[in-house]
Homo-oligomer: A and B are copies of this chain.
């Protein structure tokens, strides 16, 4: 599997993204990581291995205390990849903006017509 595919596959899981979110506030051990999740240690370890293989986390060398930390490099690749598509979400917001302005305009012109009709009476 190519590198970017491995990264996307690793991120396609809410528990693994929650692990990254936890690590974003500082490095911690596997035991500390497992605490907020109702999961067995082997299940957590499996998720950590997927993240490690994708290069998303790195682990300390000390045998007993092997703190995990985020490695930003693959996340930068994701950010670079997605940035090429920016105009596709900006365009859709532009279209929504145009639509809302048109609605507003119609509403105003309707109010004017109503006001004019009221004055005529």
Contacts and interface: CB of A to CB of B under 8 A. Distances in A.
Interface of A: 2, 4-6, 8-9, 11-14, 17, 20-21, 24, 70-73, 75-76, 78-79, 81-92
A79 B71 contact: no
Contacts of A73: 89, 92
Contacts of A83: 79
A5 B14 contact: yes
A6 B12 CA distance: 7
Nearest to A85: B75
Contacts of A71: 88, 92
A84 to B, nearest CB: 7
Contact of A88 (B4, B14, B72): B72
